[in-house]
Amino acid sequence: MNEKFYTFETKVGYRNQAVVIEPISEYEELELINENSPLLTNRDYVVKKGRIWADFIGFETSFLFAISNRVKEYIENKGLKGLKLFPINIINQPDKEYYCFYHTHKAGKITNLARNLNGKDDNVKFDIKKWNGNDFFTLEETLLNICREDFAQEFSKKKYKNIEINPL
């Protein structure tokens, strides 16, 4: 099997006008959301800046982001596996429907970290045997949001706003 994987995240400086949100509750800014995150129980957020409501909107003080209802429906309708989605409440824009998520699977550690950091490898590698086949996942000790190639291509076709997709 010759699977290809991609990372996905919000674009930095999307026209410098994309909405940026921040949770009201404290959370670990240098961690992905997980099943123990305080963001699962306190789902209140506020808009900090921006005016363009994109399909992917970033957090102000971390690399985390929320997805639009349009993206959520696509994920659910396709039956894609690997993300646990939960609705958030944007207090100063209650009519907006967005969701945060956490990965349900970690596929081991990066196996070429030293070579990658030294510029000897361009892409991240991991032990494929530790991947459970989910469409979305992350790697241990990283902040990577990873998806399969077919989903990355669908993201591009649908022209979702404010997402950056790169080969892993």
- Please tell me the predicted confidence (pLDDT) of residue 14: 60
At residue 49, does pLDDT exceed 60? yes
Q: Which residues contact 96 (CB under 8 A, 6 or more apart)?
A: 53, 90
- Please tell me the predicted confidence (pLDDT) of residue 43: 96
Q: Which residues contact 123 (CB under 8 A, 6 or more apart)?
A: 116, 167, 168
**Is the entire prediction scored with pTM above 0.85?**
yes
At residue 115, does pLDDT exceed 70? no
At residue 119, does pLDDT exceed 80? no
Task: Tell me what the pLDDT averaged over the chain comes to.
Answer: 90
**Location of structure tokens 């596929």:** 107
Q: What is the mean pLDDT of residues 117-131?
A: 80
- Please tell me the predicted confidence (pLDDT) of residue 59: 93
Domain locations along the chain:
5-167
Q: Within the chain, what is the greatest distance between any pair of CA atoms?
A: 48
Identify the DSSP state of 23. E
- Please tell me the predicted confidence (pLDDT) of residue 122: 72
